[in-house]
Amino acid sequence: MKGSTYRRCSCRDPKSGKELGTSCPKRNSRNHCTYSVRQELSPREDGSRRSFARGGYGSLKAAQADLDHVRALLGLAESDDPEGTELIAEMLAEVSHERSPLPEVEETRRRLNAGQDLIGSLTVAEWLDRWLAGKRIRKSGLNRYETDIRIHLKPHIGGRRLDRLRVSHLSEMFTDIRDANAQILEDNTQRRAAIDELANVPWKGAENRARRKAMKAAIDEMPPYRRITGPATRQHVKATLRAALNDAIGQQIITFNPAAHVEIDPVRKPKALVWTDERVAKWEQTGEKPSPVMVWTPQQTGAFLDFVAKDRLYAMWHLIAFRGLRRGEACGQPWSETNLATHSLTVSAQLVQDGWDVETSEPKTDSGFRVVALDNDTVEVLEHHRAQQNADRAEWAAAWVDTGLVFTQADGSWLHPGKVTDLFERLVAASGLPPIRLHDLRHGAATLMLAAGIDVKIVSDTLGHSDTRITRDIYQSVLPHVGKSAAEATAKLVPLQRRTEAEQAARKAAKAAKKAKTKEKAQAMSKRKGKAKRPKK
């Protein structure tokens, strides 16, 4: 295709307004005219011509350099690649029309080979929208990604070019989030103080009423209570961005993932603590839990199960307490996957919340699909529960909702996981036991299995963990008597001299005491014999 450079004079006839061109008297003057380039491009689909044209070059050398650049771009497409030829021609025509800089040859080659747009600068926000639209995961996961993108990522870095996103930009974003947290805490404190002050102002009296009115108006002007973005949320925001950028690397849009290198505050997950007598006593005095994650002792678990023995969902509390099912797994467990004859059930479904709506879903991970063994007592409990459910079905007759689930509402319909949690909390409060969450029953089941000496791999498989490290890190809350036994067994392994001397002294003392007791016993026996031989008067 033809291409050329040429000189051009832009002077116009003052009367006609037409360009003078070669008739300009100043045409031969140095630096009067500029240079232009024109390169023919492949015709459009309708056969019309198109070209790349640009002027204003101060020298022939500069004009020729751009013409060579255009020809290098045209040479990226093979002769037998009409699609590539069309894409490059379309790109050059748009660049000419918009008067934008010529794209780099190597970058254009990379985009062409990767099947990406040849022009335009993709922003972080545009990529996040495209990435989220292509995700094929369950709705709750999508909602979590969407929240991270909408609330945090787009407002802070959405306008930046994706290929120019740097670690420093992300560090700045998380610094801004921490600063916003400080402001939120200050605003919340001021609002709480104002509300407390308002509560102390009497209602009676015109002066007090006027003061209360002014204080209410001031409170209305304050920012509302807001939640801070905690460490766990910040980690999730980072994970969302990292996943999105990894996919961008996979599609050859970028070559570096800054989210993999930004450092933020680590999340310290609370360890499960057991409700010992000392902790219960302190809780009764202060009302404060030692940890967000608390576990009952075996005695406390037994007391709770005895307390709720007549509850319609007793079998669910029993199953979670002994076998460690998650709330959604228990609510979604079907009878078709519950084989009481073989003392086992297969976890293959769960009920999850989307807001307040409930939907059925598969387990989140492959390890969530698992077979859970059942003990004789649990089987007996489930058999009794099934008999009661059959009685309910007969009572409801045609109104019975046949969901096929083990645990349902009275009419057979789904249990709402949120309402199950509320019911459990009310039962715990009524029992008088120290508070735990429903999920803490699962912690307790893991702790009991580990305390019983069950291999950690079996415990991990029962709970549906992908790695035994998760079981050890989160659920291994050692019960007091187990810890005492382990401490004694450990101490006996070290032969200390003072311990040996003490043991020897104890043995000598025991031997002397035994000897003295034997002597005392012999004397008493001899005395009795002497009395027996004394002649009668």
DSSP assignment of 247-258, as one string?
A: HHHHTTS-S--G
Helix, strand counts (H, E) of the chain: 20, 10
Chain center to CA of 522: 77
Determine the Cα–Cα distance for residues 266 and 175; give it in Å rounded to an integer: 14
Q: What is the CA radius of gyration of the chain?
A: 40
Q: Is 55 or 533 the better-scoring residue by pLDDT?
A: 55
Q: Which residues pair with 405 in a beta bridge?
A: 334
Mean pLDDT of all residues in 301-313:
96
Band of residue 296 on the pLDDT scale cut at 50, 70, 90? very high
pLDDT for 47 beyond 90: no
| Percent with pLDDT over 70 in the chain | 90
| Percent with pLDDT over 90 in the chain | 55
pTM assigned to the model: 0.65
Largest Cα separation within the chain, whole Å, is: 172
Query: For residue range 200-242, what is the model confidence (pLDDT) as tens digits?
Result: 999 988 999 999 999 999 999 999 999 999 999 999 999 999 9
Chain center to CA of 9: 65
Determine the Cα–Cα distance for residues 191 and 532; give it in Å rounded to an integer: 95
Of residues 298, 267, 272, the one with CA closest to residue 440: 272
Query: For residue range 86-136, what is the model confidence (pLDDT) as tens digits?
Result: 999 988 998 898 888 898 898 888 888 877 777 767 899 999 999 999 998
Q: What is the pLDDT of residue 499?
A: 59
Under DSSP, the state recorded for 349 is: -
Q: Which residues pair with 334 in a beta bridge?
A: 405
* Tokens, residue 363: 């387990």
Determine the Cα–Cα distance for residues 505 and 503; give it in Å rounded to an integer: 5
Q: Which long-range contacts (CB under 8 A, 24 or more apart) does 129-133 make?
A: 131/244, 131/247, 131/248, 132/244
Q: Which residues pair with 294 in a beta bridge?
A: 273
Q: What is the pLDDT of residue 100?
A: 85
Q: 73 with 92: CB under 8 angstroms? A: yes
Q: What is the pLDDT of residue 182?
A: 92
Determine the Cα–Cα distance for residues 33 and 505; give it in Å rounded to an integer: 115
Secondary structure of residue 313 in the 3-state scheme = coil
Q: How long a stretch of residues is the chain?
A: 537
For residues 116-155, one letter each, b for 16 or more C-beta atoms within 10 angstroms of the residue's C-beta and e for the rest, the string is: eebeeebbbbebbeebbeeeeeeeeeeeebeebbeebbbe
What residue type is 27 in one-letter code? R
**In what helix (H) or strand (E) does residue 5 lie, and over which residues does it extend?**
strand 3-8
Band of residue 480 on the pLDDT scale cut at 50, 70, 90? low
Q: Which residues pair with 6 in a beta bridge?
A: 36
Band of residue 270 on the pLDDT scale cut at 50, 70, 90? confident
Determine the Cα–Cα distance for residues 417 and 408; give it in Å rounded to an integer: 11
Give the phi and the psi of residue 377 in degrees, each rounded to 5: -65, -45
Determine the Cα–Cα distance for residues 146 and 391; give it in Å rounded to an integer: 45
DSSP 23-70: G-TTTTSTTTSEEEEEEE-PPPTTS---EEEEEEESSHHHHHHHHHHH
Q: What is the pLDDT of residue 484?
A: 61
pLDDT for 255 beyond 90: no
Chain center to CA of 145: 9
In Å, how far are 175, 430, 525 from 276, measured between CA atoms?
41, 20, 51
Query: For residue range 319-366, what is the model confidence (pLDDT) as tens digits?
Result: 999 999 999 999 999 999 999 999 999 999 999 887 788 888 888 778
Determine the Cα–Cα distance for residues 235 and 267; give it in Å rounded to an integer: 8
* Tokens, residue 370: 């698992």
In Å, how far are 50, 218, 359, 367 from 140, measured between CA atoms?
50, 39, 10, 19
pLDDT for 431 beyond 80: yes
In the chain, % helix, strand, coil (3-state, to 5) comes to 55, 10, 35
- Cα-based angle 322, 323, 325 (whole degrees, multiple of 5): 125
